[in-house]
Amino acid sequence: MKKLDTYQNLCTEVYELSKPHAPHEAYQFYRSYASEAKGPILEPMCGTGRFLLPLAEENFDIHGFDASHPMLERLHAKASIKNLKPNVWHGFIEDLNQSNQYQLIFIPSGSFGLITEKTDIQRALKTIYEHLNDSGLFVFEAETFNAVPKTLGTWRGSRWQKKDGSFILLSQLAMLDDEICYSIGKYELIDGNSVIQTEIEEYKIRIYQDPNFLLNLLTEVGFSQVRLVKAFDRQASPDKADENIVFECRK
């Protein structure tokens, strides 16, 4: 069985402490697509529900899934507080096999870059295409080299305080190899002067400086129209200084 080696318990805690809510500008951007969708919405790789739960609160018909059990546990905990019962499940994007067809599928925050191998990217795009209605729209972000940390090869540290008095010490090292950014994260839960728990995770993010790689794959899969959009302005085109490029893909 396929198993995710990242986004475990301590990482999820830091994620919630550092990113408890979707950025307002990004949320309004994706909400504008949701408001135009005349049918169900799907958010693959939905994480802790930063986008999904507020949309569900606004009564959008939204479903979601993620490959991280700790992330989904946090999502369900937050949903319970809000008296929400979202249609969310555990799974990998390449293995998506639902009977539902969606009017909008979106992947915010550069999460699509976590799929790094070309064959997996092709499978993911094909699966998404097959789960769209005939007039459906797929919207996602891809990161450029401008999003890569400036301090490559240097350890960086941060401290994340918890309500119980303990804290998580995060040490990170980023490296770049062609179009793949490798990031090693060491998470240490510290209580008093003792390390209670340690998790070490290695992330790989695919960088898309040249959008033609994805444009060609999207066309091969069958998307009839693909438009590059500036994050987060639907009326503007991306420029060379942008950290993210939004792909707007019509089936």
C-alpha 52: how far from its chain's center?
11
Q: Are residues 168 and 78 in the same domain?
A: no
Encode pLDDT of 98-125 as tens digits.
Answer: 888 999 999 999 899 999 999 999 999 9
Beta strands in 71-222 (DSSP E): 87-90, 102-107, 132-143, 156-161, 167-177, 180-191, 194-206
Q: What distance in Å separates the CA atoms of residue 136 and residue 40, rounded to the nearest whole number? A: 10
Any idea what the CATH number is for the domain that residue 79 is in?
Answer: 3.40.50.150
Q: Identity (one letter) of the amino acid at 121?
A: I
Any idea what the CATH number is for the domain that residue 180 is in?
Answer: 2.20.130
Q: Are residues 116 and 90 in the same domain?
A: yes
Q: What's the pTM?
A: 0.94
The verdict on residue 2 lying in a domain is no
Q: What distance in Å separates the CA atoms of residue 73 and residue 80, rounded to the nearest whole number? A: 11
The verdict on residue 3 lying in a domain is no
- 194: containing domain: 149-206
Q: Are residues 63 and 75 in the same domain?
A: yes
Q: Are residues 126 and 82 in the same domain?
A: yes
- What is the number of domains present in the chain? 2
Final residue in a domain of this structure, among 206, 222, 239? 206
- Residues shown for the chain: 251
Strand, helix or coil at 178? coil
Final residue in a domain of this structure, among 170, 191, 206? 206
Q: Are residues 57 and 81 in the same domain?
A: yes
Edge-to-edge, what's the strand order for the sheet holding 102-107? 87-90, 62-66, 41-44, 102-107, 132-143, 244-250, 225-230
Q: Are residues 164 and 137 in the same domain?
A: no
Q: What distance in Å separates the CA atoms of residue 251 and residue 226, rounded to the nearest whole number? A: 9
Encode pLDDT of 20-77 as tens digits.
Answer: 999 999 999 999 999 999 999 999 999 999 999 999 999 999 999 999 999 999 999 9
